[in-house]
C-alpha cells in the first residue's frame, strides 16, 4: 500500500511543478515588459517618429512677435539757459508672419524626415525580432544546461553503482584492483562535470534574468520524442531572395540610400534662390513733443540669390555624393549578410533535423550497448571499463541529442528573422512542443 501512495505523491509533486513552469510565450511576454534593450528601441522609435513633424514644420508659416519699451532720460541745454531735463518713452511692438514659397532645401529635408521615420520603424521591427531570438536563445540555453546537469547526475548515479560493484567484486576476489581504480577515476571525473554543469546552469539562468528582468522560475521543458517541422518552403532560393529584399537590415539600408540621394539635392539647393512671403504689423508709441502712435502694416515677398560663398556648397555636394556611394555599398553589404545568414540558418535547420534523427537512433543503440555490457560484466565476458565507456557514451549521446533539438529550433527562428518574417505568432508552434 505504501508504494502506490508514494507514487501518487511523487506524481502530484511533479504535476504541481509542471503546472507552475513558465513556457516560452510567457517568458517572451515578460521580456516585452522588462527588457531594457527592447524598451530602448521603443523609445528610439518614438523619437524617430517626430522627425516627420520637424521636417514638415520648415514648410509651414512661422509667426513671431517682438518689441521693445525704452525710457529716455536726458538733458537739453538751449542757448543762454541752463540744462533742462527731457524725459520720454518709446515703445515698439511687431508681429510678423513668414511663409516659405520656394526653399528647395526645406522640401528635401521634409522628404528626408519621412524616410528617417521609416528607417526608425525598420530598426524597431528588427529589435522586435531580436527580442524573440534573444528570449528563445536564453530559454533554450537554460533547458540545455538543465539537460546536461540531469544527464551528468544520472551518469554520476550509474558510476557510483558501478564503483560499489567493483569494490564488492574486488573484496570477494572476482575482480582486480584495476577495475576499482577505473571506476573511481570515472566517478571523480563525473563529480567534477557535475560542478561545472551546476555552474553553467546558474550562468544561463542569470542570462535569462537579464532579458526578462527577474529571476526565472521553472521552465517548461521540451517533450520527449517531439517532431520538429521542416522549413516551408523547403528550398533555399526563396529564403535567400526574401532575405535580400525583406530583411529589416536591408530595408534600413535602402532607406539610407534614399536619404543620401535627398542630401545631394538638398546641398545643391545652396546655389538656388529662396523666396518667402512676409506680412507684418508694427505699432510704435512715443511721448514728447513729437510723440504719438504710429501704426504700419506691410505685406510682400523677400528673396535671396546666393552668388559666391567660398566654394562651400560645391564641397558639400561632393561630400554628399561620396556619402551616397557609401550608402549604396552598405546596402550591398547588408544584402550579402542577410543572404548568408539565411543560407546558414536554412542549412542549420536541415542538418539539425538529420542530426536529431541520427542521434535518436544512436541513443537507442547506446542503451542497448549499455545493457549488453552490463550483462557481459555480470557473466565475466566484459570488464568494468567497458561498462563505464558505455555509460559515458549513452549520456553523451543524450546531451548531444538535447542540444541538437534546441539548435534546430533556434535555426528555424533565425531563418525567419533573416527573411524578415519572424513574428510573435511563430513562437506558438514551438510552445506546443513544450511539456505544459
Q: Report cis status (omega within 30 of 0) of the bond before 111.
A: no
- The helix (run of H) or strand (run of E) holding residue 297 is strand 292-304
In a domain, 355, yes or no: yes
Three-state DSSP at 304 gives strand
Structural domain that includes position 140: 21-61+103-271+312-432
Q: How confident is the model at residue 429 (pLDDT cuts 50, 70, 90)?
A: very high
Cell of 208: 535569462
In a domain, 13, yes or no: no
Nearest to 142 by CA among 204, 77, 97, 89: 204
In a domain, 335, yes or no: yes
Chain segment 23-67, per-residue pLDDT in tens: 999 999 999 999 999 999 999 999 999 999 999 999 999 999 999
In a domain, 159, yes or no: yes
In a domain, 163, yes or no: yes
Cα–Cα dist 20/219, whole Å = 8
Chain segment 224-263, per-residue pLDDT in tens: 888 898 999 999 999 999 999 999 999 999 999 999 999 9
Q: What is the mean pLDDT of the chain?
A: 89
Looking at the structure of the chain, the number of domains it has is 1
CB within 8 A of 249, min separation 6: which ones? 126, 334, 337, 338
Q: What is the CATH number of the domain that holds 317?
A: 1.20.1600.10
16: pLDDT strictly greater than 60: no
pLDDT of residue 78: 60
Chain segment 64-90, per-residue pLDDT in tens: 999 998 887 766 666 555 555 567 788
In a domain, 297, yes or no: no
Q: Report cis status (omega within 30 of 0) of the bond before 233.
A: yes
343: pLDDT strictly greater than 60: yes
In a domain, 81, yes or no: no
Chain segment 134-156, per-residue pLDDT in tens: 999 999 999 999 999 999 998 88
pTM, rounded to two decimals: 0.84
In a domain, 352, yes or no: yes
Q: How confident is the model at residue 7 (pLDDT cuts 50, 70, 90)?
A: very low
Cα–Cα dist 351/331, whole Å = 30
409: pLDDT strictly greater than 50: yes
Amino acid at each position: 500500500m505504501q508504494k502506490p501512495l508514494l507514487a501518487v505523491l511523487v506524481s502530484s509533486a511533479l504535476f504541481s511543478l509542471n503546472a507552475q513552469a513558465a513556457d516560452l510565450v510567457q517568458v517572451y511576454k515578460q521580456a516585452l515588459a522588462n527588457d531594457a534593450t527592447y524598451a530602448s528601441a521603443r523609445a528610439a522609435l518614438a523619437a524617430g517618429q517626430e522627425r516627420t513633424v520637424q521636417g514638415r514644420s520648415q514648410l509651414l508659416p512661422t509667426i513671431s512677435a517682438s518689441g521693445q519699451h525704452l525710457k529716455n532720460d536726458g538733458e537739453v541745454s538751449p542757448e543762454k539757459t541752463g540744462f533742462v531735463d527731457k524725459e520720454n518713452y518709446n515703445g515698439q511692438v511687431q508681429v510678423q508672419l513668414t511663409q516659405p514659397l520656394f526653399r528647395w532645401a526645406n522640401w528635401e529635408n521634409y522628404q528626408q524626415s519621412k524616410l528617417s521615420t521609416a528607417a526608425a520603424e525598420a530598426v524597431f521591427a528588427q529589435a522586435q525580432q531580436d527580442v524573440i531570438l534573444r528570449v528563445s536563445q536564453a530559454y533554450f540555453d537554460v533547458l540545455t544546461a538543465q539537460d546536461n546537469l540531469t544527464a551528468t547526475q544520472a551518469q554520476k548515479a550509474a558510476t557510483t553503482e558501478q564503483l560499489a560493484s567493483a569494490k564488492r567484486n574486488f573484496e570477494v576476489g572476482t575482480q582486480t584492483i584495476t577495475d576499482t581504480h577505473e571506476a573511481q577515476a570515472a566517478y571523480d571525473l563525473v563529480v567534477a562535470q557535475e560542478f561545472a554543469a551546476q555552474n553553467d546552469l546558474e550562468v544561463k539562468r542569470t542570462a535569462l534574468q537579464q532579458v526578462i528582468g527577474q529571476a526565472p522560475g521553472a521552465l517548461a521543458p521540451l517533450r520527449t520524442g517531439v517532431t520538429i517541422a521542416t522549413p516551408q518552403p523547403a528550398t533555399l532560393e526563396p529564403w535567400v531572395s526574401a532575405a535580400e529584399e525583406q530583411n529589416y537590415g536591408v530595408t534600413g539600408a535602402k532607406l539610407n540610400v534614399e536619404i543620401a540621394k535627398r542630401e545631394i539635392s538638398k546641398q545643391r539647393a545652396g546655389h538656388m534662390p529662396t523666396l518667402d512671403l512676409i506680412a507684418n504689423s508694427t505699432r510704435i508709441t512715443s511721448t514728447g513733443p513729437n510723440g504719438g502712435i504710429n501704426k504700419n502694416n506691410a505685406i510682400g515677398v523677400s528673396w535671396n540669390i546666393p552668388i559666391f560663398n567660398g566654394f562651400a556648397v560645391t564641397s558639400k555636394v561632393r561630400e554628399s555624393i561620396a556619402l551616397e556611394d557609401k550608402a549604396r555599398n552598405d546596402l550591398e553589404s547588408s544584402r550579402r549578410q542577410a543572404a548568408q545568414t539565411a543560407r546558414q540558418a536554412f542549412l542549420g535547420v536541415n542538418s539539425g533535423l538529420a542530426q536529431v534523427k541520427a542521434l535518436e537512433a544512436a541513443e537507442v543503440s547506446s542503451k542497448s550497448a549499455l545493457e549488453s555490457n552490463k550483462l557481459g560484466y555480470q557473466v565475466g565476458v566484459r570488464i568494468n571499463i567497458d561498462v563505464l565507456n558505455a555509460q559515458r557514451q549513452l549520456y553523451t549521446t543524450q546531451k548531444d541529442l538535447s542540444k541538437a533539438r534546441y539548435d534546430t529550433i533556434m535555426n528555424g527562428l533565425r531563418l525567419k528573422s533573416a527573411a524578415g518574417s519572424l513574428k510573435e505568432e511563430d513562437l506558438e508552434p514551438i510552445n506546443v512542443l513544450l511539456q505544459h
